[in-house]
Amino acid sequence: MNYPNGKKVKTNQPINAKQNTNIFSNRGMTLEEDINSTNTYYRQSNKAVIHKKPTPVQIVKVDYPKRSAAVITEAYFKQASTTDYNGIYRGKYIDFEAKETKNKTLFPLANVHDHQIEHMKAIDAHGGICFIIIRFAAHDQTFLLPAEKLFSYWNVKLNGGKKSISFDSLQTEGYPIPFQYRARVDYLAIIDKLYF
């Protein structure tokens, strides 16, 4: 069989039996890719309109090695970004941050910045739905943590306490988001239970 690129497919290659035993293992997707895919599904099914926020970048230098190609060689961030995603669901404004860690036991709060917490506090104060999604890659587990709970961990950090959220704490205080086929990170199912 030939594919469009003209290369033949080798059919005498042995098939690894372990490859198809669990559709959830080794998905090869990052948390951001999974959320982007989920948001596309939400929009296509008319469930919600949620997008990844673009990061404001100032382009300084562009090289044109060919007429048909341009390469950005120098750029900088115009301003600190706020959170990763925002949109609307069931008439409510939604705003959230997404973080992934390879650490097995804790999520370092150093991964969240002061200006992001301030932004989340403003959203919360104005009645928006605000939260953080944290994935522990080593455990292949993803959690939703409402902003109010994140703020309490942040306050402990500011007062000289722990500078992280343990995996065990997220298992008890966070809400696990199971992997699904269409809505890979179906966080709206949790939002429904918490806010509606």
Residue 95 among known ligand-binding residues: no
Helix and strand totals (H; E) in the chain: 5, 10
Residue 97 among known ligand-binding residues: yes
Q: Which of 118, 49, 90 is nearest to 191 (CA)?
A: 90
CA distances from 103 to 24, 51, 66, 96 (A): 20, 27, 43, 21
Are the C-beta atoms of residues 75 and 62 closer than 8 Å to each other?
Answer: no
Q: Residue 95: how many CB atoms within 10 A of its CB?
A: 23
Locate 48 and state its tokens. Answer: 């919600």
Are the C-beta atoms of residues 186 and 38 closer than 8 Å to each other?
Answer: yes
CA distance 132 to 120: 10
CA distances from 192 to 35, 125, 189 (A): 17, 20, 5
Residue set of the binding site for Mg(2+): 82, 84, 97, 116
Residue set of the binding site: 82, 84, 97, 116
